[in-house]
Amino acid sequence: MIRTPFDTPPEEGAAIEVAPGILWMRLPLPMRLDHVNVFALDDGDGWTVIDTGFDSRRGRAIWEGLLAGPLGGQPVTRVIGTHHHPDHIGLAGWLMATQGASLAMTRTAWLMARMLVLDDQPRPPAESLDFWRRAGMPADLLAKRAAERPFNFADVVHPLPLGFDRLSEGQVIRMGGRDWRIAMGHGHAPCHATFWSQDDGLVIGGDQLLPSISPNLGVYPTEPGADPVGEWLDSCERLLPLSRDDQLVLPGHKLPFVGLPFRLRQLIENHRAALDRLAAALAETPRSAVDCFDILFRRRIGEGEFGLALVEAVAHLNRLGRDGRARPVGERDGAVLWGA
């Protein structure tokens, strides 16, 4: 089972010591998932910071308070991004510019982040509109999205510098007085780094290892044939032998937890069950990706969640297609219909 040793998260601008030399802090997010966990590891002459939150005036002000308060005025000498998503690397460039810190990420994560920060779009490109249409986005919502500025990394991510230090599978790095072995996960983000302490039972999990929610597994117009669900299931299976019941996992969201082997099996079973439900539904009635929302999520999806639900529905259909359990069988108003 899963156990959370810390009942409440740190208050804004405060920190909780989760292990000797490791501080847990939180930055706010302007969405339903309203926070991201960040961690600071004491290296003696400064701090290594794991993930950063969005780049915003509020986020910078919180960091300034953390630096002067819980971090004791010691500099941030290194920033590590677990993966390329903006809630995790939004303020990496700012911490580098103001603290003189270095940046360490996987090569793919750095390339993705750097590319997306430079890809500033005032309106959705034709490829995105076509992708949404073929997934079954309703015409009225499609027209609304076509006239709006889409989400841009540059809106919440500080410019990233040219250079970085590469993190690789199996590499061992020193931080917080411990040696940590790096293991990669895929599916939620390509080359997502997780860190496994070789000196005690600590694991830094980012979004790859979460206690009570499953991270979004999405397909995007940049790679419409991608298979993130398959990559996610493979990653969970590969990380399972590294997991132990006594490890304390420090996740990117929610509370630190114990019970990682159980959680990894649960994540695998949840997605396999969702695939089975979807395959059974498609055997009865062909559906677009949007038509699959009720089967996959079993709750109402609002407009604010629509985009993430759409890309995850496409991901599950792509997985069923790879498995030979579903295929495109027709179209309706420009939307691809999938059947058994």
We report the CATH number of the domain holding residue 40 as 3.60.15.10
Domain with 69, as residue range(s), is: 16-258
Specify if 277 maps to a domain.
no
The reply to whether the predicted model has a pTM over 0.85 is yes
Q: How many domains does the chain have?
A: 1
Specify if 3 maps to a domain.
no
Question: Residue 3 in 3-state DSSP?
Answer: strand
Specify if 7 maps to a domain.
no
Specify if 243 maps to a domain.
yes
Specify if 325 maps to a domain.
no
Specify if 227 maps to a domain.
yes
User: What one-character-per-residue DSSP string does 86-121 give?
Assistant: HHHHTTHHHHHHHH--EEEEEHHHHHHHHHHHH---
Closest CA to 81 of 161, 167, 155: 167
Specify if 160 maps to a domain.
yes
Q: Give the pLDDT of the chain (340 residues) as one tens digit per residue.
A: 899 999 999 999 999 999 999 999 999 999 889 999 999 999 999 999 999 999 999 999 999 999 999 999 999 999 999 999 999 999 999 999 999 999 999 999 999 999 999 999 999 999 999 999 999 999 999 999 999 999 999 999 999 989 999 999 999 999 999 999 999 999 999 999 999 999 999 999 999 999 998 999 999 999 999 999 999 999 999 999 999 999 999 999 999 999 999 999 999 999 999 999 999 999 999 999 999 999 999 888 888 899 999 999 999 999 999 999 999 999 999 999 999 9
